[in-house]
Amino acid sequence: MRIVPSFVRASKPGWGRLVPLRGRLVLYKVVRAARHALRVPPAWSFDEGVLRDAGARGAEWVVLKDIDSGWFFAASLRTVHAHGFRVSRGFGEQRALPARWWGRGRSVEEAINGAMRVEGLL
């Protein structure tokens, strides 16, 4: 699926956009695994303030597109808060979600379906 440019910026520029998808609001961000992924433990992280803001605006999902691999990764905000952990790497407080909790796919839909399987919703 192609993401159309009718985005609403998240609270911090460059830290994601809120995108309507499947009747739900998604926090969508393009990343580079080589630069943005945590290596130990393998995880993706987000600024705590951006996650709070996205949730307050009605976002239910986080979707990442890794331009290094072409894969999409998805997780519900509920999972990010329930299974994520706090990290501080000099860029402000962040919440990281280990790789095992992310759904992965070649499209946004595949990634969200994968996340739903991880959460036991499918």
User: Could you tell me if residue 60 is inside a domain?
Assistant: yes
User: Could you tell me if residue 53 is inside a domain?
Assistant: yes
User: Could you tell me if residue 8 is inside a domain?
Assistant: no
User: Could you tell me if residue 49 is inside a domain?
Assistant: yes
User: Could you tell me if residue 66 is inside a domain?
Assistant: yes
pLDDT 10s per residue in the chain (122 long)?
444 333 444 444 456 788 888 788 999 999 988 887 889 899 998 888 889 989 999 999 999 999 999 999 999 999 999 999 999 877 788 999 999 999 999 999 999 999 999 988 86
User: Could you tell me if residue 101 is inside a domain?
Assistant: yes
Number of separate domains in the chain: 1
The full length of the chain comes to 122
The range of the structural domain enclosing residue 107 comes to 16-118
User: Could you tell me if residue 3 is inside a domain?
Assistant: no
* pTM exceeds cut of 0.75: yes
User: Could you tell me if residue 5 is inside a domain?
Assistant: no
CA distance linking residue 59 with residue 7, whole number of Å: 13
How far is residue 118 from each of residues 31, 92, 115, measured CA to CA in Å? Answer: 22, 29, 5
